[in-house]
Structure 1
Amino acid sequence: MAAYCNEVRKLEDKFDGLELNHIARRFNEAADELAKAASGRMPVPDGVFVSDQFKPSIRHPEPARVSEAPPVPGSDPDLGEVGSAPPVLGPNITDWRAPYLDYLVHDTLPAKQTEARRIARRAKSFAVIDQELYKRSHTGILQRCIPIEQGKALIQDIHAGACGHHAAPRTLVGNAFRQGFYWPTAVADATQVVRTCEGCQFFACQTHLPAQALQTIPITWSFTVWGLDLFTGKKFLQFCDDHYIRVDWSAMAHPRTNGQVERANGMILQGLKPRIFDRLKKFGGRWVAELPAVLWSLRTTPSRATGFTPFFMTLL
């Protein structure tokens, strides 16, 4: 919205007077209904003009990358492109796709009997289309087989790229496979990327273990502080006053909703902190530029509980 506001500000000198007001969503019911109708592909109401825009109406500058991902040794800059051809590997690097292509195209197996049986057994889930090797997933979708170095670059881009929120290895691999790519060491590569990410390790959840052996709790310690949910009344307050007991009150309005909001905020913070982390520079105010990328990544990542993305659930 800041980009649209800046475009409006540029037109101030063309009018005698200009007043710009921000209206909250709950008070802008007309625009909210139009947005829901467009996202849900509902029939257009009478009196509404429809115009399909195929490019943004404003020029929104891309935020500067806070920390560039470290280059993968031996990888080219174009390894992460979807339509690029498979890179030519060096003489000392073996392509994992070569045995499958030799068997499926030339009907040639390795000399070792164990390796030959493994290739023949696993080749049933592969197919060759236009000289490219594809793997059939468990859902029947064909995934393009890419070299391991290209897969590492792809994982690095998903993890800390333009719309990455430093997710866990399982989420990274799922995103790569859903985009139609496959390589055998995807899980190990994603785990290595997360373990070597300085921001992820700095803000990782700490295991709170006792520094020493557990000690027996004194009998009187349990009565030092009481944290109980009690119903109030005159007798209860009088009892507390007589025994010099301090009562601390807490509001519990909509506890379920509050828990969901806190969970969502925690996921956003967990994705923001590694992206803006820098040991040498202050990064307190740079979260604003990284927030849209983190929100987009979270909204387009399927949930393990439902199997769908939050963006898809809003359309139901």
Structure 2
Amino acid sequence: MAASFDSFTLLHVPRDQNERVDLLAKLASTRRRGLQQSVIHENLSAPTIDKPEIQHNERRETWMDPIIEYLKYGKLPDDSAGSLKIQKEAPKYTLIEQHLYRRGFSYPFLRCVDNDEALYVIQEIHEGICGTHIEGRALAGKIAQAGCYWPTLKTNCMDYVKRCDRCQRFADVHQAPPEQLHVMASPWPFHKWGIDIFGPFPMAPGQVKFLMVVVDYFTKWIEAEPMSTITAERVKRFIWKKIVCCFGLPTEIVSDNGTQFASSITAKFCQDLHIRQSFTSVEHPQANGQAKAPNRVILRGLRRRFEEAKGRWVEELPQVLWSYHTTPHSTTGETPFRLTYGSEAMIPVEIGEPSPRTTLFETAANEEELRINLDLLQEVREIAHIKEYAPKARVARKYGQRVIHRDFEVKDLVLRKITLGAKKNKLTPKWEGPFRITGRVGKGAYRLEHLDG
């Protein structure tokens, strides 16, 4: 047969691409003898003709039915209270082309809608083409201006906004405090210390450029030491030398969440000495304001003592601390030196311009007076403590007037405010989450976890 052609080409077609020829081959092999016509079989999964069907929709009762029944047929509910209510409310409504309307103030007639229609209206106006996720009352007012009404209009709008995910994520941060102001005070001297790292400063001899500062919450006494590096080991040695060896073991040390303070080395050191570590919240560093305040005092004193030779700040540091220790504190009314040692320190001006205690000095009488001062020191400290606590209590009472309590329960889903450092731009949401509450820490704090654990 090939000899009958000048040229030809053979093409191989896969079976799955040659369905029609494959079907003809199967029909030829299955055809009975004597039958000259072929029948193509096809399985139909749906009817080929349309049949009339009946759909059963059960009509649900709506809040409009009793009013429509009364306006159309004068029918009233069986109970007397319901009848009186319908008779009182019916004059506010009218039927126009079989639709119920309410006489309104913002619009002559407001069309009454049922629950399903109300949900559509809320969704369309709140987040539809012309929606901008407006708040609850504004949403209710806009719906009324659009000519729609139902009895729970405002309540439904408020609830819908509260459940709107976008509205919650971009909601304004609450300015009213959720919890009472908790006053941080020390019951006796050297009970509680605040520690902080200050710097960097201009490089000084010894390659020092940082300053580690601790302050006693009761006496306001400050200890500081310049450092070249800030490591957990340096923090450990500083606490031992400046606090433990000078004033005894403290009960509590307050710090921020710096790696030097939260490291395992510092934690084990404090645990061995039974010192409780308290860390301030990242979102609320003011909780360690007692340690931050001396930083401003030291910085202001150093700036004013030199101008050009910035590297001399290490040499000037003792004078700045001495000035602070011998100056009456604004909250206690006493100098940190007197609250610590029981008597006022002798300062250079009392030598340059003799004071009574220098001109009338007698060794025996001075010894006796110093002992008397130590006996009276406890009373001086108590008065200083009251002077410090009284203004804090007044501030706490005034602060409490603005408090709007927001309590949550375990397993509640909440959103968390995004920190300033995590915000990327002006369009970034203000809240993140949701998170699940796993426990109460106390004083308005909770433990959270992601929904996936």
Greater fraction strand: 2
- TM-score tier by shorter-chain length is 0.3 to 0.5
TM-score, normalised by the number of residues in structure 2:
0.29
Higher RCO (CA 8 Å, separation ≥ 6 residues): 1
TM-score, normalised by the number of residues in structure 1:
0.41
